[in-house]
Amino acid sequence: QGIDIMVAATKDAAWPAELQLVVVGDGTEKPLLRDEPRIVSLGRLPSQEAARWYAHAYCAISMKKGTGSVGAHGYWPFKLIESAAVGVPIVCSDARGMKEAGERLGNAVIVRDGDSHACASAVRSLVEDQTARNRLATAGLVAVREYDWSAGARQLGNALDLAARSRRGRSR
């Protein structure tokens, strides 16, 4: 989702002239990638191979849209978490779920939903500013630790303990 915005971003004057957008994955928007000179579509890849592509990127991009039935309720921000885990900053839309995760992880440049020019400008700024890339990447690597399974299990256990204690206190 949001491939149309990314395609438009690659055509914007703000997009870095020599930079190619590498798309990993498959889906209904794949036909939009055909015959686009600045786009390389790799299709679906095994996780380890996709991670190698991530590791060499200036940034990741996730321009999910805040419209439609899914967008109206928000997204689970897998792309933001993945990019944080491999130490790559991300440009993302301000769609529900994406914006909040980007702020919490600290690894994102958040742009207005649907704004291909803002996406292109954000990519350019990350390509040109290694200090900003490193700052966002480091913030993401630190913050993503709270998204691992063991941290999630601890948080759930703590919440359940608190709820049980609260319930016992009311039943007296």
* pLDDT confidence of residue 93: 94
pLDDT tens digits for range 157-166: 777 878 778 7
Closest CA to 16 of 134, 112, 120: 120
**How many residues in the chain?**
172
Residue with the bigger pLDDT between 73 and 10: it is 10
**Contact in structure between 98 and 62 (CB atoms under 8 Å):** yes
pLDDT tens digits for range 100-156: 999 999 999 999 999 999 999 999 999 999 999 999 999 999 999 887 777 667 777
* Residue 172: pLDDT over 90: no
* pLDDT confidence of residue 150: 75
**Contact in structure between 146 and 81 (CB atoms under 8 Å):** no
* Residue 2: pLDDT over 60: yes
* pLDDT confidence of residue 171: 57
Q: Report how far residue 52's alpha carbon sits from residue 164's, in angstroms, rounded to the nearest whole number.
A: 44
Residue with the bigger pLDDT between 37 and 71: it is 37
Residue 90 forms beta bridges with which residues?
60, 108
* pLDDT confidence of residue 132: 97
* pLDDT confidence of residue 69: 47
pLDDT tens digits for range 56-92: 899 999 998 876 545 455 677 888 998 999 999 999 9
**How many C-beta atoms surround the C-beta of residue 16 within 10 A?**
16
* pLDDT confidence of residue 96: 87
User: Rounded to two decimals, what is the model's pTM?
Assistant: 0.81
Half-sphere exposure of 136 (CA within 13 A, CB side): 26
* pLDDT confidence of residue 115: 97
* Residue 26: pLDDT over 80: yes
* Residue 170: pLDDT over 70: no
